[in-house]
């Protein structure tokens, strides 16, 4: 369990984390989302004592991280997978970390197995790919068999097989009753992995709810309709109560009317339709709506005037 109360981090005049409160509960996967610079990494670093809060507190399994006598047995963290000695083999790195907590070689071999590192366990870590480095970071996080896991962008660098494997591992850890807190920028991946979501925007919590609620709160389902007579079809659909927005000359997005009814209206007016695609709500839609005003580094749109 992770509990943050009025947790704050300032860097000079910049408030990276602005008096946030949240609880990450055991037995489920909690996703941590937010635009670049929202304060996710800073929050995770404070949870594991790598950054000291400017205000407020954060407890892991009831205590501040630094107050735990054997923190690796309480909290496993994957924050910076590259922070390992490049000359050591993966197995030696794990043995060295294990020794700090009197964890034996048996457990080292177990986590090597759990993270699929057997084929490379004897190789120098310096030659590892990003994906192998992530697996090693996970192996370190799992060493102490901790009740709480904090994983910052764990899918980073994993190949598609690795992503599926990680999803299964993370789900299993939660089913075992552990607290799993993970950040990712990959919405579709997060939608498949997390049960609960906390979204940060500019250092504040903008949403903290079950995944199903977050997705259900997104704007309504829409239907994408491609037709060479889109202009003719639009008022007919609006007369049926639909809201229509035009994406391209022959492409409209229709909300408030089922795909079947759209097809009937089009057929009734002898309008040719080339495509009719119902689009369901997604975590990405909900996320975009919730963070629309919270983006610190927004991609600048080049205005047509500047182009000319
Ligand atoms: N050591 C530091 N000194 C000064 N400012 C910092 C420092 N670390 C982070 N910041 C600032 O604090 C804010 C939050 O950064 P943080 O890295 O926690 O965001 P994030 O949500 O993890 O972003 P990303 O998705 O890009 O990893 C940013 O504006 C960042 O520039």
List phi, psi (to 5°) of 264. Answer: -65, -45
Q: Which residues, in sequence order, are bridge partners of residue 124?
A: 89
- Specify the higher pLDDT residue, 305 or 122: 122
For the CA of 51, the closest atom of ligand 1 is 1
Percent with pLDDT over 90 in the chain: 71
List, for residues 237-271, the tens digit of each pLDDT value.
999 999 999 988 999 999 989 899 999 999 999 99
- Give the integer Cα–Cα distance in Å for 197 and 201: 13
pLDDT higher than 80, residue 220: no
List phi, psi (to 5°) of 278. Answer: -70, 130
Of all helices (H) and strands (E), which one includes residue 234? helix 230-239
CA angle, 39 as apex, 300 and 191 as ends, to 5°? 80
For ligand 1, atom 26, name the residue with the nearest CA: 36
List, for residues 28-85, the tens digit of each pLDDT value.
999 999 999 999 999 999 999 999 999 999 999 999 999 998 888 999 999 875 667 7
Rounded distance from Cα 37 to ligand 1 centre (Å): 5
Rounded distance from Cα 203 to ligand 1 centre (Å): 9
Which range is least confidently modeled, 82-96, 190-204, 239-253?
82-96
pLDDT value, residue 71: 86
pLDDT value, residue 188: 86
With the most atoms of ligand 1 within 8 angstroms of its CB, the residue from 8, 12, 18, 37 to mutate is 37
- Cβ 30 under 6 angstroms from ligand 1: no
- Cβ 38 under 6 angstroms from ligand 1: yes
Which DSSP string do the residues of 72-135 spell out, in sequence order? HHHEEEES-TT-S-TTSBHHHHHHHHHHTTT--HHHHHHHHHHTT-GGGTTSBGGG--HHHHHH
Q: In the structure, what pLDDT confidence band is assigned to residue 221 with cuts at 50, 70 and 90?
A: confident
pLDDT value, residue 129: 87
- Give the integer Cα–Cα distance in Å for 38 and 297: 10
Instruction: State the CATH architecture for 222-280.
Output: 2-Layer Sandwich (3.30)
Compute CA 169 distance to the chain's CA centroid, rounded to the nearest angstrom. 15
pLDDT value, residue 298: 54
List, for residues 49-62, the tens digit of each pLDDT value.
999 999 999 999 99
Helix axes 160-175, 130-142, angle to 10 degrees: 10
Rounded distance from Cα 14 to ligand 1 centre (Å): 10
Percent with pLDDT over 70 in the chain: 93
Domain boundary assignment for the chain = 2-216, 222-280
- Give the integer Cα–Cα distance in Å for 106 and 298: 48
- Cβ 11 under 6 angstroms from ligand 1: yes
Tokens, residue 112: 């090597």
Say if residue 104 is exposed, middle or buried (CB neighbours under 10 Å; 0-12, 13-18, 19+): exposed
CA nearest neighbour of 195 among 205, 179, 203: 179
- Cβ 201 under 6 angstroms from ligand 1: no
**By the 8 A CB rule, do 135 and 115 touch?**
yes
**By the 8 A CB rule, do 155 and 189 touch?**
yes
- Cβ 37 under 6 angstroms from ligand 1: yes
pLDDT value, residue 302: 41
Instruction: For residues 111-121, give the mean pLDDT.
Output: 94
CATH topology of domain 2-216: Rossmann fold (3.40.50)
pLDDT higher than 80, residue 217: no
Residues with Cβ < 8 Å from 271, sequence gap 6 or more? 227, 229, 232, 233, 236, 265
Quick one: DSSP state of residue 220? Answer: P
Say if residue 166 is exposed, middle or buried (CB neighbours under 10 Å; 0-12, 13-18, 19+): buried
Does the CA dihedral 158-163-167-172 come out positive or negative? Answer: negative
ipTM for the complex shown: 0.96
């Amino acid at each position: 369990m992770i509990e943050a109360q009025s947790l704050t981090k300032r860097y000079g005049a910049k408030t990276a984390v602005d008096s946030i409160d949240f609880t990450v509960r055991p037995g489920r996967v909690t996703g941590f989302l937010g635009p670049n610079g929202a304060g996710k990494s800073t929050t995770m670093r404070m949870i594991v004592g790598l950054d000291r809060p400017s205000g407020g507190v954060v407890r892991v399994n009831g205590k501040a991280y630094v107050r735990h006598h054997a923190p690796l047995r309480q909290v496993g963290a994957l924050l910076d997978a590259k922070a390992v000695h490049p000359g050591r083999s993966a197995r030696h790195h794990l043995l060295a970390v294990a020794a700090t907590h009197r964890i034996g070689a048996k457990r080292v071999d177990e986590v090597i197995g759990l993270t699929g590192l057997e084929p490379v366990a004897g190789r120098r870590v310096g030659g590892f790919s990003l994906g192998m480095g992530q697996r090693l970071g996970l192996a370190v996080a799992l060493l102490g068999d901790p009740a709480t896991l904090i994983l910052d962008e764990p899918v980073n660098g994993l190949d598609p097989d690795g992503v599926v494997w990680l999803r299964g591992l993370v789900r299993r850890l939660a089913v075992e009753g552990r607290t799993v807190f993970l950040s990712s920028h990959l919405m579709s991946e997060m939608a498949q992995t997390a049960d609960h979501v906390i979204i940060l925007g500019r250092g504040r919590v903008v949403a903290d709810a079950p995944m199903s609620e977050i997705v259900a709160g997104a704007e309504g389902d829409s239907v994408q309709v491609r037709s060479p007579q889109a202009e003719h079809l639009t008022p007919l659909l609006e007369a049926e109560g639909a809201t229509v927005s035009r994406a391209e000359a022959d492409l409209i997005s229709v909300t408030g009317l089922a795909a079947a009814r759209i097809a009937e209206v089009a057929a009734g007016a002898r309008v040719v339709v080339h495509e009719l695609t119902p689009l369901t709500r997604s975590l990405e839609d909900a996320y975009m709506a919730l963070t629309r005003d919270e983006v610190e580094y927004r991609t600048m749109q080049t205005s047509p005037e500047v182009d000319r």
